[in-house]
Amino acid sequence: MRSNLNHVWPNPLYVTGTDTHVGKTYACAALCAALGRDYWKPVQAGLDGPTDSEIVAKLSGARVWPERYRLRRAASPHAGSRDEGVVIQPTDFVAPTARPLVVEGAGGWMVPYATHPMVWQSDVVRALELPVVVVARTSLGTLNHTLSTLRAIRADSVRVAGLILVGESHPENEADLAIMGETTVLARLPRLDETGAQFATLVETIRAYR
């Protein structure tokens, strides 16, 4: 079973989203639990509440590697790092393990990681040499957001591994995204509330896609 699952899901892989709060962290937690992978968030921006690493550790029980940068303000990494006088460079990031790994990005694809010099998320992903899985909504508006994200990733010379859709079933949007986006829908997950209730449903859903 494990070998079939990891045949479908690239190892390691980088998870981005079409937007903030699209369900990316829950998707990462489900991937880690279903596939038996470690988790790493290179840049955490926002330390007031539970961090993404803490959420994934609590839900999945996965081994979580320390972030390369922990920025206090909940903002784009370029703004948070500027607050603290931190200079982020693509060469700062080295994947922490040879074990199967899920890497979670910050927000949507076009979120900048630094300025002076300018560092885009794509610069970090290319330095890590990882394929990208995009987490997107199933609902109205997803065609524009998701297809724009796919186009931007490919324009940055990064490989798209597929989509994870989050929300209620919408077969028309799912089919359109696969065809128009020239990609594969790897899974569709129900949206969870902030407590992570019914997380096991996400894990079983990931396991069912192979």
145-158 residue pLDDT tens: 999 999 999 999 99
Residue 138 has pLDDT above 50, yes or no: yes
Residue 40 has pLDDT above 70, yes or no: yes
Interatomic CA distance for residues 108 and 121, integer angstroms: 9
Domain span holding position 114: 2-11+27-208
Catalytic residue among 24, 37, 41, 82: 41
Domain count, the chain: 1
Look-up: residue for tokens 């320390």? 66
In-domain check, residue 89: yes
3 pLDDT band, cuts 50/70/90, is very low
Look up residue 148 and give its amino acid. Answer: S
Structure-token pair, residue 11: 């190892």
Q: Enter the pTM of the model.
A: 0.92
What's the pLDDT tens digit per position in 50-89?
999 999 999 999 999 999 999 999 999 999 999 999 999 8
In-domain check, residue 22: no
Percent of the chain whose pLDDT exceeds 90: 77
In-domain check, residue 18: no
* pLDDT for the residue 156: 97
In-domain check, residue 21: no
What's the pLDDT tens digit per position in 90-112?
888 999 877 899 999 998 999 99
In-domain check, residue 57: yes
In-domain check, residue 84: yes
The CATH number for 121's domain is 3.40.50.300
In-domain check, residue 112: yes
- The residue among 149, 140, 138, 137 whose CA lies nearest residue 105 is 149
Interatomic CA distance for residues 145 and 19, integer angstroms: 8
Exposed/middle/buried for residue 111 (C-beta within 10 Å: 0-12, 13-18, 19+): buried
| Span 21-34, average pLDDT | 94
Residue 174 has pLDDT above 90, yes or no: yes
Cβ pair 198, 186 in contact under 8 A: no
**Pairing of the two strands 101-108 and 38-40:** parallel
Please give the distance of CA 30 from its chain centroid, rounded to a whole number: 11
Q: Is 24 a catalytic residue?
A: no
